[in-house]
Amino acid sequence: MKFTSGYWLVRKEITPLYAVEYAGHRITGQELVVYAPAKHISKRGDILNLGMLTVCISSPMEDVLKVSIRHFEGAAYRGPFAKVYSEEGGQTVASNITIEETETQLVYRTGKTAAVIDKRPDAWGIRFLDGDRELTETSYRNMAYMVNTQTGRNYVVEQLALDIDEYIYGLGERFTPFVKNGQTVDMWNEDGGTASEITYKNIPFYLSNKGYGVLVDNAGDVSFEIASEKVERVQFSAEGERLDYYLINGSTPKGAVSKYTELTGKPALPPAWSFGLWLTTSFTTNYDEATTSSFIQGMADRDIPLHVFHFDCFWMKGYEWCNFTWDADTFPNPKEMLQRYHDRGLKICVWINPYIAQKSPLFSEGMEQGYLLKKENGDVWQTDLWQAGVAVVDFTNPAAAAWYQGKLKALLDMGVDCFKTDFGERIPVKGIVYYDGSDPVKMHNYYPYLYNEAVFSLLEKERGHGEAVLFARSATVGGQQFPVHWGGDCSASYPSMAETLRGGLSLACAGFGFWSHDISGFENTAPADVYKRWCQFGILSSHSRLHGSDSYRVPWMFDEEACQVLRKFVKLKCALMPYLYYQSVVAHTQGVPTMRPMFLEFSGDRACEPLDKQYMLGSSLLVAPIFKSTGEVEYYVPQGNWYNLLTKQTVVGGKWHKETHDYFSLPLLLRPGSILAVGADTTRPDYNFYENVTLYLYLPQDNSHAQTCVTDVKGNIVMRIQADRIGTQVRTHVESQTGSWQFEVLGDENLEIVEA
């Protein structure tokens, strides 16, 4: 939201109250409270008829600063608020905090991070430091309270400085340009597909290439102006009398993402089986058990490994979504069918959403029990959008959440393994009353957290820790704890494939460790060319799903070569599972996503900062999907000699490359100084990764060192491997609790392997 008209003028309908200078402070425990009046106080009478901002600075964990800007503190400040985790258990503040005062400044320090408040007259400002390095600052006419005299609405505003060559990323799964400088971004979850500025996953957290991030602690419609109102600033604002934000210092972009997930929650580790190929019925297609069984058999006949089968909406009767009951006309014996599919080694997923249509038998039950979202007059809120007379489950009511979980438990008992938690964006705000009194505007974006948390916690309870996985569309802050998320409704085209990747990389900047998308696009039906290229990209994502709207997505519907391409890459992914699952453990424990923007892994390489058509899959593999029917691809390689696993060629780094690939190849490069663990099974993603594992050593430079780990299927580390190249020898060392392995050298046949 914009409040000014150029640099000098405020818009005519806006009356501003700016923080102008320091006017005293107090310390309460480990919180610093600073007072900032709206004009310079030169004499005692100046304090009369004058507004003032109260600025509270605290720290929930080391290197994280919380800044709270308040105008009228007596105004109600209702949640929901993002759940944040403190440094130690029940502690609410970091342990390493100091507050120092000199004649000219106050310094609030947590770890290596400091907020320095200027005490000089008529010189308001707060500088945020990483050691002696300035990260950003707020100063003249930045921190403010704005009143719109036409509407009577008021806002709290902050503007943080942008440095020369500073880029901003993130703010959720955004399909607009990857670097957010110059954009206006509003936080409002909507079902808008992938071809617009609207998104399903708005996360009010942005990441800077300077190694810090900012999380605005407001679940409502926060508005960001990223160098789009003042080109030297990132502005964020929200309606009300108070605005809170966290400045999160990681020193590097990867460190900032890791620290952000330490604050808001690390991703759970999905089960290994979920990394395999998922096949769905698609959305509006006609299907029954004969149809689904023909797809499963067709994959087997073509030697294409398949691991999860998903039933989309019409497993339930139309007009009754959700009733959580199989359509008896189509699936008369669902429990027996699911057992047959389990016997074939498949896991089962079914589609759900948080809505109850009026025709569903659950509607009257939910209404009578008070489990459905209500209007201010006590009526159940309903709409005809999506399903006739649909209502929304009120997950702020613990009894409603338990009721909803009970319906899902019956499906788990029947043999369902996981759920696609669709929707969660179409949540009303006008005239709404929640069970717990939450602010309806803030609940609009926060609702997906409660929805996905309810389903995920049920899966953990019923299936056990480490076996829970969702396929979720909507999200907010903290939603990364409930993987996996997918990119919503994309189209069957190369531009949509590229915007899908941009969205995933943008979401990764908020610590979403596991992400997927509809291979070949959801809307329309792709030509065989796009299908095959998207299969490459989709399989080389953390999770891989074939899904569409009104046509089936089995490969033989496109051409026989599509079957060959899919087979090759699914088997490749299965073989890479020892590497991929350890990278997933890293995502789970450190909060660094498996699919990473290039700048996250190579923060010192300026050429990596704008890249949005390639990514790192874990720390060691570079993937550059192909977005042209000609098979041409242009991609950048960081310094060093990399190794293409598919072409067996060395690729020189520090430069751009332009190549042409057939459907069985693409740039899939191994980073220099890597040990790549490759498994012995190409048919499943869940096997003993440590049995007969091949450890490929790629150390093209003398005096280089590499290390990695191999886990079991539960994510426990069972092997630690190190390798050092000295001259023409590679000295290896393996700490292993179990397993068997062999070493192979890539790129240099003259190197001798010596076990330490």
Annotated catalytic residues are 422, 425, 489
Distances from the Cα of 163 to the Cα of 137, 167, 208, 231, 535, angstroms: 10, 9, 10, 10, 40
Exposure of 61 in the CB half-sphere (CA atoms within 13 A): 18
Distances from the Cα of 292 to the Cα of 67, 90, 310, 612, angstroms: 54, 50, 9, 36
Whether the Cβ atoms of residue 269 and residue 588 lie closer than 8 Å to each other: yes
The span from the CA of 569 to the CA of 366, in Å, is 46
Distances from the Cα of 751 to the Cα of 701, 728, 734, 741, angstroms: 11, 5, 18, 18
The pairing of beta strand 674-678 with beta strand 650-652: unpaired
Q: Is 452 exposed, middle or buried (0-12, 13-18, 19+ CB in 10 A)?
A: buried
Sign of CA dihedral 423, 425, 431, 432: positive
The span from the CA of 361 to the CA of 365, in Å, is 7
Q: What is the DSSP letter of 608?
A: G
Sign of CA dihedral 523, 524, 530, 535: positive
Whether the Cβ atoms of residue 391 and residue 353 lie closer than 8 Å to each other: no
Whether the Cβ atoms of residue 65 and residue 89 lie closer than 8 Å to each other: no
List the structure tokens of 257: 């993402």
Q: CA angle, 443 as apex, 236 and 190 as ends, to 5°? A: 75
User: Rounded to 5 degrees, what are φ and ψ at 101?
Assistant: -130, 135
The span from the CA of 162 to the CA of 132, in Å, is 17
The pairing of beta strand 518-519 with beta strand 544-546: parallel
Q: Is 41 exposed, middle or buried (0-12, 13-18, 19+ CB in 10 A)?
A: middle
Whether the Cβ atoms of residue 290 and residue 361 lie closer than 8 Å to each other: no
- Give me the sheet containing 144-148, strands edge to edge: 14-18, 144-148, 154-161, 233-239, 223-226, 183-186
3-state SS, 660-696, equals ECCCCCCCEEECCCEEEEECCCCCCCCCCCCCCEEEE
The span from the CA of 235 to the CA of 228, in Å, is 9
Q: Computed over its alpha carbons, how large is the radius of gyration of the chain?
A: 27
Whether the Cβ atoms of residue 623 and residue 668 lie closer than 8 Å to each other: yes
Q: Which amino acid appears at position 255 of this protein?
A: G
Q: Which residues contact 547 (CB under 8 A, 6 or more apart)?
A: 278, 280, 282, 283, 310, 312, 518, 519, 522, 553
In the block, which residue shows the tokens 């503190």? 73
